[in-house]
Amino acid sequence: MVFPTGFSSNDATLQCLLRLLNDSVVISDQFNHASIINGVRSTRNERKIFRHNDLQHLEEILSAYPINRQKIIIFESIYSMDGDRAPIVGIVSLAKKYNAITYLDEVHAVGMYGHRGAGLAAELGVSDQVDIIQGTMAKAIGVIGGYIASTKELVDAIRSFATGFIFTTALPPAVVAGCYASIEYLKNHETERTALHEKTKNLRAKLAELSIPVMECSTTHVLPVLIGDAIKCKSAAERLLSVYHVYLQPINYPSVPVGTERFRVNVTPNHSEPQIAHLASSLHEVFDYFDIPLKNSHSLAEVS
């Protein structure tokens, strides 16, 4: 089921689902995206937050409810600010044990992970065990739009009752054609996925050589480069652009906690080796210019 944006697919689906299952308990990861938070907060369902990627805490919450009480676990496969992965297999196992529905946001994995780019759950072989998967036609697919995939009955329920779907404008046919062409291409070609992961590995190595602090939580193509100061983060981004013609988005509070301000760096399959080297050297100069601590000066365990 297709929505105009990834944000609206989360927001509208969760609002609708939770109102249909109004006695259900929502159990949401601490670091879930704003679109998920907005959808959950728009309902009156009981809700619990489990510590980020903490299976033990998740089980403590699940075990506190009767087995026949409907529970919905909401989480992401790859978290965009830290670049870490959810313990998807463990969450799915707990959901089965405690009779819970799973809702998985795959926006940062679709197109980039798994067989034919189907996502991280597919890579792990458990996509058929997740009740609802949400994704985007932005990011890897490169267009715009969002979607959910689930059983015919559940999708039909969301289509029939989600106000955020019924009372909005559908994607234009030309945009849908672009989404379809991109998805078909990514399903049938591994070249871009392979290049993405190889170049990410190369960029990690370049940054490590220059002691640029990539936060240790990152295990994916999302490389959070720690700045640790909001003013310096903004100023460093401006200098990178004006002096080195490198655009990196400064990520400050409230997107991330105070003290963990960062650049969120993603290489693409089309970046060249000289461009990757230029980014690393430019970052090193900017760190020196603004007296931003390098890796040996940071306590990464504290901020990640």
Query: Annotated active-site positions, please?
Result: 139
Question: Per the structure block, which two tokens stand in for 299?
Answer: 């306590």
What does the alpha-carbon distance between residue 104 and residue 132 come to, in Å, rounded to a whole number?
6
- A 10 A CB-CB count for 198 gives 12
What does the alpha-carbon distance between residue 219 and residue 212 come to, in Å, rounded to a whole number?
16
Q: Nearest 10 degrees: CA dihedral of 289, 216, 10, 255?
A: -30
What does the alpha-carbon distance between residue 302 and residue 273 come to, in Å, rounded to a whole number?
32
Amino acid occupying residue 199: K
| Element spanning 3, H or E | strand 2-3
